Amino acid sequence: MRILLTGSSGWLGRTLAPRLRHDGHHVVGLDPVPAPTTQVVGSVADRDLVRATIRGFAVDAIIHSGGLHKPDLETREPSDFVSVNVQGTLNLLEESVSPDSKVDRFVFTSTTSLMISEKIRAGVAGGGTKAAWITEDMAPLAPRNIYGISKHSAEHLCRLFHELHGLPVVTLRTARFFPEEDDMAHAIAQSEANTKTNEFLFRRLTVEDAAESHVAALDQAPKLGFDTFIIAAKTPFSRDDCAELMVDAPAVVKRYFPQYPELYARLGWTMFQSIDRVYDSDNAFRRLGFICRTGYEEKLKELATRLDARERAG
């Protein structure tokens, strides 16, 4: 296929472009920032550029992973999020269904962030008594910032264009895979690696797994028609753990991974005392046939191997 990949210069795009080419696809990267994975430098907010790119490269499929993201909240205006994330998505969708378009499938990179209200984020401080168990059926959604609102609006555009035009669309609500530090209130200040490893229990995945989920969505979109999936490493927890996770997460984690306290002690690491949400990605496995290769268990094995090697060498 000839695939238009937006956001091709970003963290996900730089991983996804070579992965798609490995499968024999012709990838056309579109991004405002030049990069080896980007052939067209510009914004999805530029309707004329979007039209020229889709027509000029005879695009068959679109993976729309580009846009403004959560870290951009500190430097960009709300109107920028509307222009890029909402109008930009509309531009791509409208050009996808125009009479002379060859586009027969559309994959949209959304975010689990739009599912987190201010109340959920506040956790115990907000009066919560148990961790939120989050699935695609969660409603109503109350995004807490313009980033989440713009992504939610773009999701509705995707649904609308499927309903009106029959365009196969798969929306992927990806959990955290970006390399930047986050504003998480209970982050481990002493170690970013500690924080991110803990998050594999309930709200993180590798960028490689994020890329693989897009490959799966691209393949399955015509059969699915329209669907939305949470994409995150498989959690070891169950709904029955949610009350205890809010007040004593280390005890819950120890039940599933008895080896973790000793390993963390060797590293000087700690577990979050409270976990306020858990993303359930089972629907992606059932309907999309996708499951992340790397989860918390795999991260513990990596850490143990690295520590053993370091101690033998020392």
pLDDT in tens, 271-280: 999 999 999 9
In a domain, 91, yes or no: yes
Residue-averaged pLDDT of the chain: 94
State how many domains the chain has.
1
b/e sequence 229-240, b meaning 16+ C-beta within 10 Å: bbbbbbbbbeee
User: Between residues 172 and 183, which one has the greater pLDDT?
Assistant: 172
**Entry field: residues in the chain:** 314
pLDDT in tens, 278-305: 999 999 999 999 999 999 999 999 999 9
pLDDT at 187: 64
pLDDT in tens, 110-146: 999 999 998 888 765 456 789 999 999 999 999 999 9
pLDDT in tens, 43-94: 999 999 999 999 999 999 999 999 999 889 999 999 999 999 999 999 999 9
pLDDT at 121: 81
In a domain, 226, yes or no: yes
In a domain, 183, yes or no: yes
Residue 311: band (very low, low, confident or very high) from pLDDT cuts 50, 70, 90: confident
In a domain, 28, yes or no: yes
Q: In terms of pTM, does the model score above 0.75?
A: yes
pLDDT at 184: 56
Outline where the chain has alpha helix (H).
11-22, 47-56, 78-81, 88-96, 118-122, 146-165, 192-199, 207-224, 242-256, 260-267, 282-283, 296-313
* CA-to-CA dists, residue 284 to 117, 174, 212, 292, angstroms: 23, 11, 12, 10
pLDDT at 191 over 90: no
In a domain, 11, yes or no: yes
pLDDT at 238: 98
Q: Which domain covers residue 264, as residue numbers?
A: 2-309
pLDDT at 31 over 80: yes
pLDDT in tens, 209-251: 999 999 999 999 999 999 999 999 999 999 999 999 999 999 9
Tokens describing residue 99: 């009479």
In a domain, 37, yes or no: yes
In a domain, 314, yes or no: no
CATH number of the domain that 59 lies in? 3.40.50.720
Q: Please calculate the CA angle 8-46-230 and round it to the nearest 5 degrees.
A: 45
Tokens describing residue 49: 């550029």
Write phi, then psi, for 113 (nearest 5 degrees): -60, -30
* DSSP label at residue 130: S
In a domain, 142, yes or no: yes
pLDDT at 25: 98
